[in-house]
Structure 1
Amino acid sequence: MDQLRKRFDQLTWPEASHAARQPGATVIWPFGACEQHGPQLPLSTDAVFADGILDSVLWGLEPALPIWRLPCQAIGFSPEHQNFPGTLSLSAPLLLDLVDQVGTQLAAMGVQRLVLFNAHGGQIGLLQVAARQLRARCPSLAVLPCFLWSGVEGLADLLPEQELLHGLHAGQAETSLMLQMAPDLVGSARPVDGRPAPGSAPEPPEGWSLEGAAPCAWLTDDLSATGVIGDARQASADLGRCLEDRLINHWQKRFQALLTSDWPPTQSLLSKPSKITPTS
Structure 2
Amino acid sequence: MDHQRHLQCLAWPQVEQLAAQPGSTVVWPWGAVEQHGPHLPLCTDGLFAERVLDAALASLDPALPILRLPLQSIGCSPEHRGFPGTLSLSPALLIELTVAVGQQLAAAGFQRLVLFNAHGGQIALLQTAARQLGLLSPELAVFPCFLWNGPEGIAELIPEPERSEGLHAGLAETSLMLHLAPQLVGQERPCDGTGLTIPTGWSLEAGAPLAWFSHNLSSSGVIGDARGASAALGERLFDLLVAGWRQRLDALLNSAWPAPH
Q: Give the alignment's TM-score, normalised by structure 2.
A: 0.98
- Residue in 1 that maps onto 2:10: 11
Amino acid of the structure 2 residue aligned with 1:264:
P
- Residue in 2 that maps onto 1:256: 250
For residues 197-246 of structure 1, the C-alpha deviation after alignment (integer angstroms, 9 at most, x for no partner) is xxxx6x22111111111000000011000000000000000000000000
- Residue in 1 that maps onto 2:84: 85
- Residue in 1 that maps onto 2:207: 213
* Structure 2 SS opposite 1:161: coil
Aligned-residue identity in percent: 60
| Residue 111 of structure 1: how far off its partner (Å) | 0.3
- Residue in 2 that maps onto 1:54: 53
Q: Give the alignment's TM-score, normalised by structure 1.
A: 0.92
- Residue in 2 that maps onto 1:230: 224
* Structure 2 SS opposite 1:151: coil
1:59 and 1:170 map into 2 onto residues whose CA distance is 27
- Residue in 2 that maps onto 1:166: 165
Amino acid of the structure 1 residue aligned with 2:91:
A
| Residue 71 of structure 1: how far off its partner (Å) | 0.3
| Residue 162 of structure 1: how far off its partner (Å) | 1.2
Aligned pairs for 1:41-190 within 5 A: 41-190=40-189
| Residue 62 of structure 1: how far off its partner (Å) | 0.6
Aligned residues: 261
- Consecutive unaligned residues of structure 1, counting only runs of 5 or more, are 270-280
Amino acid of the structure 2 residue aligned with 1:124:
I
1:42 and 1:156 map into 2 onto residues whose CA distance is 24
RMSD, matched Cα: 0.9
| Residue 79 of structure 1: how far off its partner (Å) | 0.2
Query: Residue 243 of structure 1: which of 220, 237, 241 is its match?
Result: 237
2:231 and 2:177 map into 1 onto residues whose CA distance is 8
2:244 and 2:151 map into 1 onto residues whose CA distance is 6
1:115 and 1:184 map into 2 onto residues whose CA distance is 30
* Segments of 4+ moved more than 4 angstroms: none
Say which one has the larger Rg.
1
